[in-house]
Amino acid sequence: MLRKGIALAALGLALVGGPALAAGGHQEIHPQSWSFDGPFGKFDTAQLQRGYKVYREVCAACHSMNLVYFRNLGQPGGPFYDPKYKNPNDNPYVKALAADIQVNDIDSETGDVIQRPAIPADKFPSPFPNDAAAAASNGGAVPPDLSVITKARTGGPDYIYSLLVGYKTPPAGLKIGPGQNYNAAMPGDLSAFWSGDHKKVPPGGFLAMPPQLAPDKVTFDDGTKSTVEQQAKDVTAFLAWAAEPKQIERKSFGFGAMIYLLIFTVLLYFSYRRVWRNVAH
């Protein structure tokens, strides 16, 4: 009896000390509904095209996307996929988009470094020759490569969107260092920079990237109204596609695999019942 009592007491103690949410720096995240959410979600091609434009005209000035090639834009599921061109390298639209951009090359005759228009087989070029140059132009902070950024941040696309729209007027009492910007979605703990009520530390943190989006900063070819929210949402969708271009294929393949496994499971269950029907166990 005593042993049981001790055991129960130990269990009780453990339950009282059970899990709880930790306090600390908090962030303002605005969950969005994305066309690619859920097991049947798909990318919205028009949105990806607008998103590419935002990346190209705004973000590409500072951020590389080293894992993305122009040809990816024309592959199945990509923003400029055209079923007429099974090989994305032949897609004239993708060729034209690539040709708009200059990339470095070596002249095979002279060995000189030259610039030439990109072809679909080229990577998106980096805006800076190296990290030191990137840091030097950005107040010491290196703009991260955006190829897999939605997978590389907790919160994924919701976080990226919230960050892009999260530049708020800093509340009075918040000390902001030189070259830093206040953002309500950025992870961090602002208590050390806050002179107001210590129970009301503002959400978010600081980052070196200044606000990038502004109304009508990018003109959308399909006539969509170019608000900050729209630009943020579209570029985030584009980044989510770039982070995993095969994710729609993954989900649709998965659906078939799940159905197959389900049928297989049911068949095995009935075989099991049948094989064991004469055994008491």
Partner 1 sequence: MSGHSTYEPKTGVERWLDTRLPIVRFMYDTALDFPTPKNLNYWWTFGGILALMLGIQLVTGIVLAMHYVPHVDHAFASVERIMRDVNYGWLIRYMHANGASMFFLAVYLHMFRGLYYGSYKAPREVLWILGCVIYLAMMATAFIGYVLPWGQMSFHGAVVITNLIGALPIVGEPITTLLWGGPAVDNPTLNRFFSLHYLLPFVIAGVVILHIWALHVPGNNNPTGVNVKSKADTVPFHPYYTVKDGFAIAVFLLLYAAFVFYNPNVLGHADNYIPANPLVTPAHIVPEWYFLPFYAILRAVPDKLGGVLLMFGAIGVMFVLPWLDTSKVRSMRYRPTARLYFFIFAFFCLVLGYCGGQLPDDPVLGSPSGLKLLDADINSFVWLSRVATVYYFAYFLVILPILGLTEKPLPVPESISEPVLSHPATTPAGAVASPEKRG
Give contact residues for ligand HEC (rule: CB under 6 A): 54, 58-59, 61-63, 138, 141, 143-144, 149, 153, 160, 163-164, 207-209, 212-213, 235
Binds 29: which of partner 1, ligand HEC, none (CB < 5-8 Å by kind): none
Residue 27 CB neighbours (<10 A): 19
Measured CA angle at 66 (ends 79, 137), to 5 deg:
115
Q: Which does 276 bind (CB under 5 to 8 A by kind): partner 1, ligand HEC, none?
A: partner 1
Partner from partner 1, ligand HEC, none contacting 253, C-beta within 5 to 8 A by type? partner 1
User: Rule CB under 8 A: which of 212-271 touch partner 1?
Assistant: 243-246, 249-251, 253-255, 257-258, 261-262, 264-265, 268-269, 271
Task: Report the 10 Å Cβ neighbour count for 109.
Answer: 7
- Which of 37, 51, 60, 28 has the alpha carbon at shortest distance from 230? 51
Q: Which is nearer to partner 1, 114 or 141 (CB)?
A: 141
Indicate which of partner 1, ligand HEC, none lies near residue 209 (CB less than 5 to 8 Å, by partner kind).
Answer: ligand HEC
CA dist 128 → 119, 194, 277 (Å): 20, 35, 71
Indicate which single residue of 144, 168, 224, 229 sits in contact with partner 1 (rule: CB under 8 A): 144
Residues 48, 252 contacting (CB under 8 angstroms): no
192 binds partner 1 (CB under 8 A): no
Alpha-carbon 242 to chain mean position: 8
